[in-house]
Every structure is written in structure tokens, then in C-alpha cells.
Amino acid sequence: MEEGGEEMNAGLLLRKGEQEEEECKLRKRMWIESKKLWRVAGPAIFSRVVTYSMDVITQAVAGHLGDLELASMSIANNVVVGFSFGLLLGMASVLETLCGQAFGARKYNMLGIYLQRSFIILFACATLLLPMYIFAAPILQLIGQPPELAAQAGKLSIWFIPVHYAFVFILPLQRFLQSQIKNFVHAAVSAIVLIVHLFMTWLFVYRYRFGLFGTAMVLNFSWWVGVGLLLAFVLYGGCRETWKGFSMLAFDGLWEFLKLSAASGVMLCLENWYYRILIVLAGNIQNAEIAVDALSICISINAWQLMIPLGFFAATGVRVANELGAGNSKGAKFATIVAVITSSIIGIVFFILIITFHNKIAYIFTISEVVIDAVDNLSLLLAFTILLNNIQPILSGVAVGSGWQSAVAYVNIGSYYFIGVPIGILMGWLLQLGVLGIWAGMIGGTAIQTLILAIMTIRCDWDKEALEASSRMEKLSRQNER
């Protein structure tokens, strides 16, 4: 009996030792993957926060000029510019799939070709969208915005045309660099641009009193400074392996590239536009100016914090694409798990912060007590939106890295526009809950979309995805050789 007991104890100790060794290996793997993730996410978060801060500064300056100025800047920036930004961002994001997988497969020469194709496609798309800027005032009035607000926002939209064309170049350049783990360049450029933006805002708005026109022109100038610096880095030796100069190959296979870009564009722009629709719907209720001001402040705070999960979105897309391109299905799956856990923890922290400072957060944008009280009433919904938005973009990043854009586009249409928006309208008008009802209904759409993406990710066959990534790279490589 004693001998049997000793053997049992030895077996238990052995299994315990093996378990501790496995736990140690898991912690080490998570640490290594976290470092890889943060290597992309850190600069991506920094650059996105800094870039969005320019918009926040512009909106805050407009808010201190007056309530009408804040509302018109919110409409122009969140609806008109936001509409085109969402579509162009989505179309540029196809580079996260193609460049990420090509870099993982060590087909470096293909990255520069993809970048040039993206420039061509986005420039054509931006030109087609130009009438939306030119005729913004009548369009906004047609969808129910008050005449004075629509006229002011329409004038601002025309002033923002240079920003519109800046997106054509800066969005593909960002994804081109981050797929090579060189997004530290964008982070450095973003810091320089923010300093320029702050100085120019002080000079033209506060020193020379150019008012709302000055805020728009400064934002245009700042975006184009960023374009110039990133282009200079790529063209003059910063990417020797992946940039071999301009090539006529960029015009080959444009149709296939357009189809991939369009799928990516639909997927991401539907997400980007979703909460901006709140601004439009708020313009149709009583006390529209106050509702738009309060809602635009909440959307700005949400979007500001969203730069963090969007950094993880970029990092997850790159990590998954790199691992799938290299044929490492287990690595792609593990990268997904680490990214979701990390971003969820950050979301919980910000949820607590919003709940704690619910009655103070609006002071960044306004000193109007009516608007501050309205924002306070919306703070709980803002907290839940931020929590959900720290999970959903990571799952979208998996989709981009894996090339699921077409499937996710259908999920977004169904969740957002067939469920979220109708429920929001029902609660806002029929149940007479106003902005609270509209937003609460739309959060339901986000929750359903997040659940569906989670199920898709859990059920994913990673070995199959790795084989498809390899097949895609071979097909595109043969097209380039022809």
C-alpha cells in the first residue's frame, strides 16, 4: 500500500510539474506575442490618437466660437467628411490583407505594386465622391437638417475638399508601412503634424482671427503635411525592399484589385458610418442644435478612445495576415486570442473612467451648461459603446487579415442597418425616448454584430485559411509576372 501510495504521489507531482511547465510556456508565448502585437499596435495607437486629436482640436475650437459653429463643424466633419473617409479607409484597408500576407510570404516586390494600385483606385473613387462635398448644403437640408445649420455645414464641406484628397494618399501609405512593421514612421510623422497643427491653429484662429474658415484651412494644411512626409520617406529610400519605383504593373489587374478594395470598403465604411448616422437622426428631433452638439461630443470622445482598439485592429490584421502568409495557422489563432484579451481589458478601464467622470467630460468641448447636462445624460450609453468597441474592431481585424471582407460586409449590413438603425428609430420616435432611444437601439446592432463576428472567429478553420492565403499570393504573383 505504501509503495502504491508513493507511486501515486510521484505521478501527481510529475503531472503537476508538467502542468506548471505548460503554464510557463503559455505565459512565455503570450509575452512574445504581446510584444509582437504592441510593436504594431503601440505606434498605430499613438499615430491614430494624434491624428484624431487634430479633429478634436478643430471641433473644440469651433465649439468655443459658438453653438452653431460647433454643430456645423460636427455635421461637416462627421457626416460629409466622415462618409468619404469611411469609404476610402475601407478601400485602403485591402492593403492590410494583401501587403500583410505578401510580407509574410517574403514577396516584397509586390507591396509597392499594391500601393500604387491603391492610389489609382482611391483617386478615382475620391473624384466620384466630389459632388457630395460641392452639394452638401442641399443634401443636408434634404435629409432634414435645419436650413441655417445645413448652409453653414455645406460651406465647411467645400472648404474640406483638400482633406478629402489627402485621404487618397495617406491611408494607403499608412497600411503599406504598417504591414512591414514600419508604422513607427507614421507615429513620428503624426507627432510632427500635431505640433504644426497646434501652432497653425493658434496663429490663424486666435492670433489673426480667421474664425471657422481658419480652422478648416489649418486642418487641410496639417493633413497634407502628413502626406508629404510619408511620401518622402517611401520614395527616398525608407522602403528599399518593397518600393522599387513607379511601375506600369500598377495598371495590370486593376479590376481584381478593385473588387477586393470594394469589398473591404463596404465592410469598414458601414462600421465607420454607423454611429455618424446618429448625428443625422439627431438633427431631426426637437432642439436639434443642442442634440447635435451633445451627441457630437459623445461621438468625438468615443472616436478618440476608439483610436486604441483601431490600433489593435491594425495590429491584429497585420499579425494574422503575416502568420497566414507564412503558413502558420496556429500563430494566427494565438495572435487573435492575445489581441482580444488585451483590448478587452483596456475597454473595461475606459468604461470605468467614463462612469466616474460622467458629468465632467463635456468641458473639453464646450462651456454651455445645457449641452454639458445633455452629455451627462448620454454618458452611460457612451460607456457601453466604448466597451463594445474595444472588442468588435479586433474581430474585424481578424477578418481583414484573413480576407473575409465580403462576408463581414453582409454581417455589418444586417446588424447595423436592418436591426440597429430601425430599433433606434423605433425607440427614438415611436417610444419618444429621443437621442437616448436612438443610441440605445444602435448599440443593440453593434452587440449583435460583435456576437456574430465572435462566432465566425471561434469556428474558423485556421489551417484552411493558411492554405487560401498561400493560394492567393501565388495567384497574384502569377498575374504580376504576366
Question: Do residues 313 and 447 touch, judged by C-beta distance below 8 A?
Answer: no
Most confident of 151-155, 282-286, 397-401: 151-155
Say which range, 78-92, 181-195, 392-406, has the weakest mean pLDDT: 392-406
Write out the residue range of the structural domain in which residue 160 sits: 32-481
- Give the DSSP letter string of 129-192: HHHHHHTHHHHHHHTT--HHHHHHHHHHHHHTHHHHHHHHHHHHHHHHHHTTT-HHHHHHHHHH
Q: Backbone dihedral region of 181: left (phi > 0), alpha (psi from -120 to 50 degrees) or beta?
A: left
On whether residue 410 sits in a domain, the answer given is: yes
Specify the pLDDT at position 191: 92
Specify the pLDDT at position 210: 84
Cell numbers representing residue 423 in the block: 430599433
On whether residue 249 sits in a domain, the answer given is: yes
Rounded-to-integer distance, Cα 175 and Cα 98, Å: 10
Residue 77 — very low, low, confident or very high, per pLDDT cuts 50/70/90? confident
Residue 1 — very low, low, confident or very high, per pLDDT cuts 50/70/90? very low
On whether residue 24 sits in a domain, the answer given is: no
Residue 98 carries which side chain, given as an amino acid letter? L
Tens of pLDDT along 403-427? Answer: 777 777 788 888 888 888 888 888 8
Q: Is the dihedral of CA 127, 128, 132, 138 positive or negative?
A: positive
Per-residue pLDDT, averaged over 195-201, amounts to: 92
On whether residue 26 sits in a domain, the answer given is: no
Tens of pLDDT along 119-149? Answer: 999 999 999 999 999 999 999 888 777 888 8
On whether residue 408 sits in a domain, the answer given is: yes
Look at the chain and report how many structural domains it folds into: 1
Q: Is the dihedral of CA 83, 88, 89, 90 positive or negative?
A: positive
On whether residue 336 sits in a domain, the answer given is: yes
Reply yes or no on whether the pLDDT at 347 is more than 60: yes
| CB neighbour class for 275 (10 Å; exposed up to 12, middle 13-18, buried from 19) | buried
Specify the pLDDT at position 480: 54
Burial code (b: 16+ CB inside 10 Å, e: under 16) for 341-370 equals ebbeebbeebbeebeeebeebbeebbebee
pTM of the predicted model, to two decimals?
0.76
Reply yes or no on whether the pLDDT at 192 is more than 50: yes
Question: Do residues 229 and 192 touch, judged by C-beta distance below 8 A?
Answer: yes
CA atoms within 13 A on the CB side of 296: 33
Cell numbers representing residue 40 in the block: 504594431
DSSP 368: -
Say which range, 1-10, 37-46, 407-416, has the weakest mean pLDDT: 1-10
Most confident of 198-202, 291-295, 423-427: 198-202
On whether residue 179 sits in a domain, the answer given is: yes
Q: Mean pLDDT over all residues of the chain?
A: 82
Residue 20 carries which side chain, given as an amino acid letter? E
Question: Do residues 184 and 166 touch, judged by C-beta distance below 8 A?
Answer: no
Specify the pLDDT at position 199: 94
Q: Distances from the Cα of 196 to the Cαs of 50, 113, 199, in angstroms? A: 12, 32, 5
Question: Do residues 159 and 198 touch, judged by C-beta distance below 8 A?
Answer: no
On whether residue 3 sits in a domain, the answer given is: no
Residue 473 — very low, low, confident or very high, per pLDDT cuts 50/70/90? low
Q: Which of 242, 291, 338, 245 is nearest to 41 (CA)?
A: 338
Q: Distances from the Cα of 77 to the Cαs of 45, 47, 126, 216, 280, in angstroms? A: 21, 19, 16, 10, 12
Cell numbers representing residue 257 in the block: 484589385
Per-residue pLDDT, averaged over 171-184, amounts to: 89
Burial code (b: 16+ CB inside 10 Å, e: under 16) for 439-457 equals bbbbbebbbbbbebbbebb
Per-residue pLDDT, averaged over 25-35, amounts to: 85
Tens of pLDDT along 295-339? Answer: 777 877 887 788 888 888 888 888 888 888 778 888 888 888 898
Cell numbers representing residue 194 in the block: 500635431
